[in-house]
A and B are shown apart, each in its own frame.
Chain A
Amino acid sequence: MISPATLTELRDAVLSAPRVIAVGAETKPRLSAAETVKISTRPLSGITEYEPSEFTFSALAGTPVREIIAALDEKGQYLPFDPMLVEAGSTIGGVVASGLSGPGRFRYGGVRDFILGVRFVDGLGRLLRLGGKVVKNAAGFDVPKFVVGSLGRFGVIGEVTFKVFPKPESTFTLQMPFSSEKMAQLANSRFEIDALDVLPGGETMLVRLAGPAKALEVLAKEIGGEVTDSTVWRVIRETPWSFKADITLDQINDFKTAHVSCGGNVAFSNAPPPRGMTLRGDSPLWIGGRPRFAIEAAVKQALDPQNRFPTLDD
């Protein structure tokens, strides 16, 4: 294990061995299980820039998300996609590389929708900055988005820049029996639902509203259901699921034992899904295969010509 403390040391670390991979808090061990020298990003930690007036911050890859959430909270801001396993110590680099978002991704989008820029070391050992530091930028290819979910296979992330939003004044959680019609109806309603999940078992649906408390009370009455403690979302966020699948609403009945998030678009489970990705345990990384195109190898070759990092199949 190499533990670089600066971006220059991170670059040296990448060049120090023929096969390397970055790890954060290793909260998701399966995703970095390849046989390689591990580069821990943990000492590479700290918020490097935070401008509340810009709705942006930059942080080194090893920064615990917990720290970021606390700093944002002080200024009344937040990352709306509910990063997961925060209390277990997830790092911001790990969140980006694993591309996992929590229930809050329903309203404004996930990690990919909030990342603005990235500094990373490619397989040639070059420290590169792509994307930008402002909320809007269309210059050059959108490599920051590509890094989301890339599992450390194309480069090591050193620093990321994110967009943030003002934190809603309050939240309100309702619980009600699940039906896919009701879910579709709420998802396409005037209420601007903040999160919409189904608990394992497929019986109970959770609805979160966010905004001014006085308005939410009125909306909640109209929506109906039973008022529930908002801490339920913390439990969902901190649960170490073993598998993740991307689904659509019409497949929801095949995922009855899973926790279904984001209005029926994601399933987290402890039993292998028919098709999906392994987060922990010994199962193959990809379950039920994944689409493969020649361009994937060509892009890998472009960013990592010497195969310093494992491939998506390792």
Chain B
Amino acid sequence: MSTALDRLAALLPPERLLVRPVELAAYESDGLTAFRTRPLAVVVPETTDEVIAIVRLCHELKLPFVARGSGTSLSGGSLPIAEGIVIALNRLNRILKLDPAQRIAVVEPGVVNTQVTLAAAPFGLHYAPDPSSQSICTIGGNVAFNSGGAHCLKYGMTANHILGIKAVLGTGEVVEWGGGSRERLGPDWCGLFTGNEGLFGIALEITLQLLPKAECFHTVLAGYCTLEQAGDAVSAVIASGLLPGAIEIMDALALEAATAAVHAEYPPGCEAVLIVELEGPHEVVAIERERLDAILSASSPVEMRPARDAEERLAIWKGRKSAFSAVGRLSPDFIVQDGVVPRRRLGEALRRIAEMSQETGLRVANVFHAGDGNLHPLILFDGREEGALHRAEDFAGRILRMCIEMGGSITGEHGIGVEKRDFLPDMFTADEIDCMQRLRAAFNPLGIANPGKMFPGSEAPSLSHVGLHPLEKAGVISRE
């Protein structure tokens, strides 16, 4: 391996080629802290040319590599490979172009999600995808995972906002697809590349579509006696023909945690809280909010609290976005699950999760994107208890199987990574997995780009503990 390090040393100055254990420690795991691996080295390129040279060297030496943005993946996507290197992309953090007339931004992969919206704000524009980790996660990571957020219902996921990608593939080839236009000719290569989980190569420059900021919001928080009533209210909103920007639900345990953590105040005695947000020109919102308020009033809420100003709206979202980390503080360890069920079966799914919780004796909190049917059950356990981790994982697995059985998906936005490899065959046939393997092999024939992820049958990395991301512990980020 010394030749690999020697060759890398020829490409980068010593301070950007990390090999000492203390330097490598920070890169050993991602947001799925159950897994931990020490890589051979971490390289810190500063230019796209350096990334290309590194990937080409990896190709020549058959050296595995894992691209890394901010390491907030919740499925082990950026977990290192012991005999490979980590390519840390945080220093490729330039916004290369911001064109308000065309409403696009061209960014390097290490640009942090919220930085795009901040840069676009003076022009009245914003970048729509808003994962809860947005203050820290990178556009490169978002592209690799096709990340979502609370506002997917109306404007979609990351892939719906990617207009162009320049990337270096696992073959060392540099490609450029799409560009500033919202339309394209021929097959949708950018669409295929987005969501590849780092198995196709590394995104070097990404063209993002920006949208005008909504002029006006109407955000309502409604409390219910039961989760089922909150679920029924979601169905009623959907059936009404309104298209809200977001529809979210938090259950009792999540409410309790958010109250403790950020002093969020919720209607007392509620088992569930529903958040619905409308957005648009004020003339439109004025009419639609009447309809929404009527629908919600008829859904027997304990209390309805429309946000009266921007501050109250932010407070509602702060409680919502902090809920997961807050729940995490209630327990020494937890597993956050990400699955999708058809929206009409949400109530049934939540009932079954509650039953499983009773059976296993493990508490579970639910905070989720109700409008998309995207569940995020959070299973609480104490890793010091004999067999607890195993029971929690078993519980998480049962939830995923339930999602598949109901015709949903094993991941709505966190990806397969290492965590859900073994569930891929529950969702796809052997031929379908073979088709995806063939695609992987086309982009990455030597298997050097992020090996061991997405596909079953790879060697399992070692388990340590499950819980808050180090950055969450530090209070830097929170999760959904």
Q: Interface on A for B, CB 8 Å cutoff?
A: 51-55, 76, 99, 101, 105-106, 108-110, 112-113, 122, 126, 128-130, 132-143, 145-151, 153-154, 165-167, 169, 180, 184, 187-192, 211-212, 214-215, 218-219, 244-250, 262-263, 265-266, 276-277, 286, 290-291, 293-295, 298-299, 301-303, 312
Contact = CB atoms under 8 A, between A and B. Distances in A.
B340 A54 contact: no
A141 B415 CA distance: 10
Interface in B343-384: 343-344, 369, 372-374
Contacts of B415: 138
Nearest to B420: A139
B352 to A, nearest CB: 17
A81 B182 CA distance: 13
Nearest to B189: A146
B416 A139 contact: yes
A53 B344 contact: yes
B185 A276 contact: yes
B183 interface: yes
Contact of B424 (A139, A192, A290, A312): A139
Contact of B283 (A218, A263, A277): A218
Contacts of A101: 183
Interface in B161-207: 169, 171, 173, 175-177, 179-189, 191-192, 194-196
B258 interface: no
B159 to A, nearest CB: 6
Given A133-B407, A189-B212, 10 more contacts: A52-B239, A137-B340, A140-B454, A141-B192, A142-B146, A142-B194, A150-B186, A192-B212, A293-B173, A298-B445
Contacts of B442: 295, 298-299, 301-302
B413 A250 contact: no
A112 B340 CA distance: 21
Given A140-B428, A149-B185, A190-B212, A76 B412 contact: no
Interface of B: 100-103, 123-125, 145-146, 148, 152-157, 159-160, 169, 171, 173, 175-177, 179-189, 191-192, 194-196, 212, 214-215, 235, 238-239, 241-243, 280-281, 283-284, 286-288, 340-344, 369, 372-374, 407-416, 420, 424, 427-429, 431-432, 435-436, 438-443, 445, 454
Question: 5 closest Cβ contacts across the A-B interface?
Answer: A145-B191, A190-B215, A298-B442, A215-B283, A302-B438
Contact of A188 (B123, B411, B424): B123
Given A189-B212, A291-B176, A265 B195 contact: no
Contacts of B146: 138, 142
B284 A312 contact: no
A54 B114 CA distance: 30
B182 A134 contact: no
Nearest to A267: B183
Nearest to B440: A141
A165 B238 CA distance: 10
Contacts of A188: 100, 103, 123-125, 212
A166 B185 contact: no
A294 B148 CA distance: 31
B186 A149 contact: yes
| Most chain B beta carbons < 10 A, residue from A53, A137, A246, A303 | A137
Contacts of B342: 51, 54, 133-134
Contact of A187 (B103, B280, B288): B103
A69 to B, nearest CB: 17
Looking at B194, B281, B412, which has the most chain A CB atoms within 10 Å of its CB?
B281
A172 B467 CA distance: 52
A131 to B, nearest CB: 9
A266 B442 CA distance: 31
Q: Which of B184, B242, B431 has the most CB of A within 10 A?
A: B184
Contacts of B191: 112, 142, 145-146, 148
A164 to B, nearest CB: 11
B114 to A, nearest CB: 20
A118 B177 CA distance: 22
A136 B171 contact: no
Name, among B146, B186, B288, the residue most crowded by chain A CB atoms within 10 Å (CB to CB): B186
A141 B440 CA distance: 9
Contacts of B180: 248
A165 B444 CA distance: 37
Nearest to B406: A134
Contacts of B284: 192, 211-212, 215, 219
B182 A105 contact: yes
Given A166-B241, A248-B181, A303-B435, A146 B187 contact: yes
Tell me which of B157, B214, B280, B284 has the highest count of chain A C-beta atoms within 10 A of its own C-beta.
B284
Given A136-B412, A142-B159, A142-B194, A192 B373 contact: no
B435 A126 contact: yes
Contact of A128 (B187, B408, B431): B431
A274 to B, nearest CB: 13
B468 to A, nearest CB: 23
Nearest to A293: B175
A139 B454 CA distance: 9
A162 to B, nearest CB: 13
25 contacts: A51-B342, A53-B239, A99-B186, A126-B435, A134-B340, A136-B148, A138-B148, A138-B412, A139-B420, A140-B436, A143-B192, A146-B189, A150-B187, A166-B243, A180-B101, A212-B287, A246-B184, A250-B102, A266-B181, A266-B182, A293-B175, A294-B173, A298-B171, A298-B442, A301-B442
A84 B102 CA distance: 25
B409 A138 contact: yes
B435 A136 contact: no
Given A212-B284, A219-B283, A134 B373 contact: yes
Contacts of A137: 340, 408-409, 411-412
B182 A145 contact: no
B281 A138 contact: no
A134 B153 CA distance: 12
